[in-house]
């Protein structure tokens, strides 16, 4: 990794680089993180790395084990279902508030722009860009809710969901299904059909075929094993 130039926002820069390394799969799930090695690669002291790790722990992206070290997260048995439940609760509540506060046009415009970008990424078969936009699509639902606590709560799982997307988003069939469902959600928001939007969002996130479910098995130790590619919602 390239050294980071010193600045007043050094911790933020270190945090962003470390978060990206986890989300984009540069560090494997369960991999041990050496503060000294990361600091050396960034050209910083260990202090900003340590501060960044504490924030990544709050985001669920690393596990700090006393007297053992710091590791990239792994999923515990049943955790994936809990994450999907939390996503559904927060994104559904966000959508309801968007409609209640007449922010549907703002959200609709944001989703339309994202769908145009997703179409471009899809046509180029740019998986990384597409998956980043997938995350931005769902982020927009919460960001436009007008409720900062929904957004703060979503931030607790957003990084972990993005990291899982990166590792599982390579199968063309499931990417196509994901793309089509995002387009239908955007269309339903634009049409003002809250009920249909919520129903589709529910199946989009919580379905137990395809997506994460068909392609993950939990090991007895609680780690992840990938049996094939799949594009998360």
CATH number at residue 92: 1.20.120.530
* Entry pTM: 0.82
Assess whether pLDDT exceeds 90 at residue 217. Answer: no
Domain-embedded: residue 109? yes
Question: Domain count of the chain?
Answer: 2
pLDDT tens for each residue of 28-85: 999 999 999 999 999 999 999 999 999 999 999 999 999 899 999 998 888 888 999 9
CB 124 within 8 A of CB 87: no
- d(CA 96, CA 76) in angstroms, rounded, equals 31
- d(CA 87, CA 153) in angstroms, rounded, equals 10
Let me know whether 148 and 189 are in one domain.
yes
- d(CA 135, CA 118) in angstroms, rounded, equals 11
Domain-embedded: residue 198? yes
pLDDT tens for each residue of 189-208: 999 999 999 999 999 987 54
Neighbours of 6 (CB within 10 A): 11
Nearest partner of 19 among 163, 167, 139, 224, judged by Cα = 163
Let me know whether 60 and 92 are in one domain.
no
Let me know whether 134 and 190 are in one domain.
yes
Q: Which domain holds residue 205?
A: 79-218
Mean pLDDT of the chain: 86
């Amino acid at each position: 990794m390239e050294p980071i130039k010193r600045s007043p926002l050094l911790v933020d820069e270190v945090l962003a680089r470390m978060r990206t390394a986890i989300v984009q799969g540069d560090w494997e799930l369960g991999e041990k993180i050496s503060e000294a090695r990361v600091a050396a690669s960034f050209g910083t002291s260990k202090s900003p790395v340590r501060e960044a790790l504490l924030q990544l722990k709050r985001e669920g992206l690393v596990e700090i084990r006393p007297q053992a070290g710091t590791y990239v997260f792994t999923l515990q048995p049943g955790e994936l279902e809990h994450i999907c439940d939390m996503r559904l609760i927060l994104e559904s509540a966000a959508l309801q508030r968007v409609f209640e506060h007449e922010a549907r046009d703002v959200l609709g415009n944001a989703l339309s722009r994202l769908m145009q970008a997703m179409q471009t990424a899809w046509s180029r078969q740019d998986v990384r860009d597409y998956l980043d936009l997938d995350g931005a699509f769902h982020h927009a639902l919460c960001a436009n809710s007008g409720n900062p606590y929904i957004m703060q709560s979503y931030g607790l799982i957003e990084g972990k969901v993005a990291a899982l997307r990166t590792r599982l988003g390579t199968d063309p069939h499931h990417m196509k299904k994901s793309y089509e469902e995002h387009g239908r959600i955007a269309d339903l928001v634009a049409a003002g059909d809250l009920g249909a939007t919520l129903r589709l969002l529910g199946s989009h996130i919580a379905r137990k075929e395809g997506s994460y479910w068909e392609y993950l098995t939990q090991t007895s130790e609680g780690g992840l094993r990938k049996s094939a590619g799949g594009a998360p919602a």
